[in-house]
Amino acid sequence: MNVDRMLRMIAGFLVLASVALGVYEDPRWFWFTAFIGANLLQSAFTNWCPMMTILRSFGVKG
C-alpha cells in the first residue's frame, strides 16, 4: 500500500471515529474532526501533510 492510499485510510478512520465520539461521548470531539479537515485542506494547497512524513519515516512506499 502506498502513502496516498494509507493517508486516505487513516484520515477516513479518524474522521469517522471522531464523529462517533462526538455523537456518543462529548461534542468537543468535533474539534478533532475540524482539525483533520483543516489539515486536509492545507495539504491540498501546500502538497505537504505531517502524516505523510510520519508514514514515510515508518517505511511506507511513496
Question: From first to last of its 62 residues, what are the pLDDT tens digits of the chain?
Answer: 999 999 999 999 999 999 999 999 999 999 999 999 999 999 999 999 999 999 999 999 98
Count: domains in the chain: 1
Q: Does the residue 45 lie in any domain? A: yes
Q: What is the pLDDT of residue 35?
A: 97
Long-range contacts at 28-33 (CB < 8 A, ≥ 24 apart)? none
Q: Does the residue 62 lie in any domain? A: no
Q: Which residue in this structure is represented by grid cell 489539515?
A: 39
Residue 8 belongs to domain spanning: 3-56
Q: Does the residue 61 lie in any domain? A: no
Give Rg (Cα) of the chain. Answer: 13
Dihedral sign for Cα atoms in the order 33, 19, 44, 52: positive
Is there a contact between 53 and 3 (Cβ–Cβ < 8 Å)?
Answer: no
* Model confidence, pTM: 0.88
Q: What is the pLDDT of residue 55?
A: 95
Q: What is the pLDDT of residue 62?
A: 80
